[in-house]
Structure 1
């Protein structure tokens, strides 16, 4: 692949993929928190409607929903969505439904004693949610949100089927031009991996800050050198303990 093809197709495709990911993730986050908190409401009608949304979008195909927004909605409503926004809506609403279960589960994991303390302080439902439940549930949401963000990034490849010029669409155009399938798709895999790695690093940093914000110990840094250093420290401590025991036994 020449630099001209890279500059003309792949670089704009990377930017489109980043845009679709950011816009879809923002919409999914709003939907996840709105639907997830609604599913913990004491009003049955709110729980029913939010639960119905969750079940419908969890069971629906994001690709088919994208086709419906782009091809069927203009016939039904009489107006056409821009391909980029059709893809963003389909991905954001679908992955927002998945995220709502993460929010609901994290809120349900908050100790009931915390809610009772809020009630004793005469907090409203919104005050309890904002001051007590969400700050404690947020650190538990970040790791599964990380996985969901990676799935969303990979799901952005679906927008290529409605002519959005993302990385996958650009790679297909270059393959049709050069007839080189192996190097093009290998590069595409590596580019998705790099973007996913960047997302993971950012979410790990967010997780550490979220845990530090509620006084929890941050997760240990994983890695070969980290593991070796921890094992070395453990071994040194064990050796010191044995030496100390032997010395005390000799003294006796």
Structure 2
């Protein structure tokens, strides 16, 4: 392997694994963030306590240790739960960053002015409609920038899955480095690939940011024009 043209296809194989893990983990993190935030606002104390426990445990412990726990401890008695390395990566990353996402979403919901709630109540809006049409659109404007940062952190966190035998981008880079000793070229390309993937996330999230901002702006202008 004397040419970078031979190295790049092998790194691309690892990149595809990284993309698959990142996309699936981001989707799981979004679901967990929304679910945990909903439970933390529940009227029952035990439900709120359970959701808070999930958030604090996964925020307060190491992601690497969590991955090791899912990979090495769950298969042992009394759990006897056997997960593939790919599943462990998705579950570990999704649960870990979903806990952080819950905090972002909770803060965004609290940032919506109280007058918005009062206006919706004055219009006799049902709670579901109030949340969908008034609260969430405004909260999302505040939640998307930190959520973008969190997704980039998740992408970088995928490099840890190489330690549970997954052939991701980092695993391939280390493998190629050991066999070719082209350290600068290999890890230079690896850095570039991670950077490009991060910029894709930024571009997608900025697109959603513009859509949400435009949607909220239209809703604010229409009532004024109608009045």
The superposition leaves residues 158-179 of structure 1 with CA deviations (integer Å, 9 ceiling, x where unpaired) of 1000111110011111111102
208, 211, 214: which one pairs with 1:209? Answer: 211
Instruction: Give the structure 1 partner of residue 20 of structure 2.
Output: 19
Q: How well do the aligned residues superpose, as a CA RMSD in angstroms?
A: 1.7
**Contact 1:135/1:214 (<8 A) preserved:** yes
SS of structure 1 residue aligned to 2:35: helix
Matches within 5 A, 1:192-231: 192-215=194-217
Instruction: Give the structure 1 partner of residue 67 of structure 2.
Output: 66
Instruction: Give the structure 1 partner of residue 36 of structure 2.
Output: 35
**Contact 2:155/2:198 (<8 A) preserved:** yes
CA distance in 1 between counterparts of 2:207 and 2:162 reads 31
CA distance in 2 between counterparts of 1:45 and 1:132 reads 29
Instruction: Give the structure 1 partner of residue 223 of structure 2.
Output: none
SS of structure 1 residue aligned to 2:86: helix
CA distance in 2 between counterparts of 1:40 and 1:120 reads 22
Matches within 5 A, 1:153-192: 153-192=155-194
Distance 1:114 1:43, change over 3 A: farther
Please, what TM-score do these two structures have when normalized by structure 1? 0.80
CA distance in 2 between counterparts of 1:103 and 1:191 reads 29
Q: Which runs of 5 or more structure 2 residues have no equivalent in the other structure?
A: 219-227
CA distance in 1 between counterparts of 2:112 and 2:47 reads 21
CA distance in 1 between counterparts of 2:21 and 2:130 reads 34
**Cα offset, 1:135, TM superposition:** 1.5
Please, what TM-score do these two structures have when normalized by structure 2? 0.88
Q: Are residue 47 (structure 1) and residue 48 (structure 2) matched?
A: yes
The superposition leaves residues 152-206 of structure 1 with CA deviations (integer Å, 9 ceiling, x where unpaired) of 0000001000111110011111111102222211111111111111111111111
**Contact 2:108/2:143 (<8 A) preserved:** yes
Q: Rg bigger for which structure?
A: 1
**Contact 1:36/1:104 (<8 A) preserved:** yes
CA distance in 1 between counterparts of 2:62 and 2:51 reads 19
**Contact 2:7/2:186 (<8 A) preserved:** no
**Cα offset, 1:118, TM superposition:** 3.0
The superposition leaves residues 200-243 of structure 1 with CA deviations (integer Å, 9 ceiling, x where unpaired) of 11111111111111008xxxxxxxxxxxxxxxxxxxxxxxxxxx
90, 93, 96: which one pairs with 1:91? Answer: 93
The alignment of Structure 1 onto Structure 2 pairs a total of residues equal to 215
SS of structure 2 residue aligned to 1:206: helix
**Cα offset, 1:42, TM superposition:** 4.0
Distance 1:41 1:128, change over 3 A: farther
Distance 1:56 1:150, change over 3 A: same
CA distance in 2 between counterparts of 1:129 and 1:40 reads 13
